Amino acid sequence: MTCLGDVVAALVDGELDHAARERAQRHLAHCADCRAEVDAQRRLKSRLSGVSVDPSPSDALTARLLGLTSQPPPFREGTGADGAPPLVARPARPLTAAARGAARPVTLRTAGGPGSVRPGSARSRLRRRAGVGSALVALGLGAALALGGPQPSRPSTPVDPGTDAFVVDFVSTTGGSGGAGSGR
């Protein structure tokens, strides 16, 4: 960790205000370690900006996801601990003799006491809720990114940049620093 810490990332991302940026630059002028860290993060950012990311899942992940569809969903019958209505599972695997013998949906009970469900089912529900939550957050962020783009109606004012007059202004202003010459 360098002296500037997280400020390095903020500096590279252009997130610092004027005062903070100037303080950081003053520090960089005298700290080789932080300067090296800023350079490294800039190079990394530059490389990342050129990386094309393939959003499709890998073959291995695809195979695992397909494998999940051939597995039965968690066998969750009866009333859960939260009082939610029971989900009647239709397992793809052959039922055991005990299950086949059941005339009605089975209310599962565990050592946790009456009304409790298997720990595995609770974890599944948590995972499902987390998945739904993540999807909603991702949807919101995606919408925000889409809406946060430049205004399409932003005026495109023609300007005349980089002219020779700017070079004359540069030499006139910085004439004391010397050495401006033609690069023929």
Q: Which CB sits closer to other proteins, 21 or 118? A: 21
Pick 41 or 124: Cβ nearer other proteins: 41
Q: Which residues bind other proteins (CB under 8 A)?
A: 11, 13-15, 18, 21-22, 25-26, 28-30, 42, 45-46, 49-50, 140-141, 143-150, 154-162, 164, 166-184
In the complex, minimum distance from the CB of residue 37 to other proteins, in angstroms, rounded to a whole number: 13
Question: How many CB atoms are closer than 10 A to CB 20?
Answer: 13
CB of 46 to other proteins, least distance (A): 5
| Residue 70 or 163 with smaller CB distance to other proteins | 163
**Token code pair at residue 50:** 């050129």
Name the minimum Å distance from CB 54 to other proteins: 18
Q: State which residue, 55 or 67, has the beta carbon closest to other proteins.
A: 55
